[in-house]
Amino acid sequence: MSDTPQDTATADGDDGADSTAVQELHGCPLTDSRGQDVLHVGRDRWVEVVKLLADDGYAMCVDLTGVDYSRFMDRELPSGVTPERFEVVANLLDMSNRRRIRLRVQVPENDARLDSLFDVHPGTEAMERETYDMFGVSFDGHPDPSRILMPEDWDGHPLRKDYGAGAIPVQFKGAPT
């Protein structure tokens, strides 16, 4: 879907070779996932890199979500990137050059926080709230850090892998316990 100048050398459909080719963009390792560009950004440079990319033309943040990798810690990552439990994934779109890039940032479990992208892309407001709601990753500098889909007095973060599916007692507001 996205064809970009960076990955012309990578053979199409060759999944094994992509981790060996180390390319960089703004000092972050750039990998290829099924022909799509993925940039592995360090947590301390998150907002900075998004700003740099916005200057490069990636002016729209179309999607931001999280993944809880606690059952998949041996996943393939470029060297220099330490796998952590949570990943926040953002998809940026460059309309003038018709290309996309995906950013992945590692967020450790014991300090699940990340800087908010609100100042760069205000449209991430609801998406960051959703990521907080579902994964418990808080966003520093977010104007309205509250739950968005679950009730505000809900316990737990449903999309975490240790939050069971089904057989969860239904929580009602003000119900006698």
Partner 1 sequence: MSTLATEGHQEMRPRSEITARELMRELGSVLRLSEAEAAKLGELPDDGDEDQTMVINMGPQHPSTHGVLRLMLELKGETVLRCKPIIGYLHTGMEKTGEQLTFMQGGTNVTRMDYLSPLNNELVFSMATEKLLGIDGDIPERAVWMRMLLSELNRMSSHLLFMATNGMDLGAVSMMIYGWREREEVLRFFQKVTGLRMNHNFVRPGGLAADLPAGWRDDVLRLLDMLPERLEEYDILMTGQPIWRERLQGVGVITPTEALALGATGPILRSTGVEWDLRRDQPYLRYDDVDFDVVVGTYGDAFDRYAIRLNEIRESMKIVRQILDRMPEGDYRIQDKKVTPPPRARIDESMEALIHHFKIFTEGFRVPEGEVYVAIESPRGEIGCYIASDGSPTPYRMHMRAPSFVNIQCLPHMMRGGLVADAVAVISSVDPVLGEVDR
49/116 with CB nearer partner 1: 116
Structure tokens at 24: 């960089």
Give yes or no for residue 58 binding partner 1 (CB under 8 A): no
CB neighbours of residue 146 within 10 Å: 9
- Judge contact between 85 and 107, C-beta under 8 A: yes
Instruction: With contacts defined by CB under 8 A, name the span among 21-29, 44-52, 136-144, 169-177 that binds partner 1.
Output: 136-144
Tokens 């992945």 appear where? 104
Name the helix (H) or strand (E) containing 133.
Answer: helix 124-135
Structure tokens at 81: 């990137």
Beta bridge partners, 88, equal 66, 105
User: How far, rounded to the nearest angstrom, does the alpha carbon of residue 140 sit from its chain's CA centroid?
Assistant: 15
To the nearest whole angstrom, how small is the minimum distance from the Cβ of residue 117 to partner 1?
11
With a CB cutoff of 8 Å and minimum separation 6, the contacts of 169 are none
Give yes or no for residue 139 binding partner 1 (CB under 8 A): yes
3-state secondary structure of 50: helix
User: How far, rounded to the nearest angstrom, does the alpha carbon of residue 8 sit from its chain's CA centroid?
Assistant: 25
Segment 5 to 34, residues that bind partner 1, using CB under 8 A: 13, 15, 33-34
Q: What does the chain come to in residues?
A: 177
Instruction: With contacts defined by CB under 8 A, name the span among 21-29, 44-52, 78-86, 98-106 that binds partner 1.
Output: 98-106
To the nearest whole angstrom, how small is the minimum distance from the Cβ of residue 5 to partner 1?
16
To the nearest whole angstrom, how small is the minimum distance from the Cβ of residue 141 to partner 1?
7
| Contact pattern from residue 111 through residue 130 relative to partner 1, giving x for each residue in contact according to CB under 8 A and a dash for the rest | --x----x--xxxxxxx--x
| Contact pattern from residue 64 through residue 83 relative to partner 1, giving x for each residue in contact according to CB under 8 A and a dash for the rest | -x-xx--xx--xx-------
Closest C-alpha among 141, 168, 143 to residue 157: 168
How many residues bind partner 1, per CB under 8 A?
59
Give the residues lining the site for partner 1 (CB under 8 A). Answer: 1-2, 13, 15, 33-36, 38, 59-63, 65, 67-68, 71-72, 75-76, 89, 91, 95, 98, 100, 102, 113, 118, 121-127, 130, 132, 134, 138-154, 158-159, 165
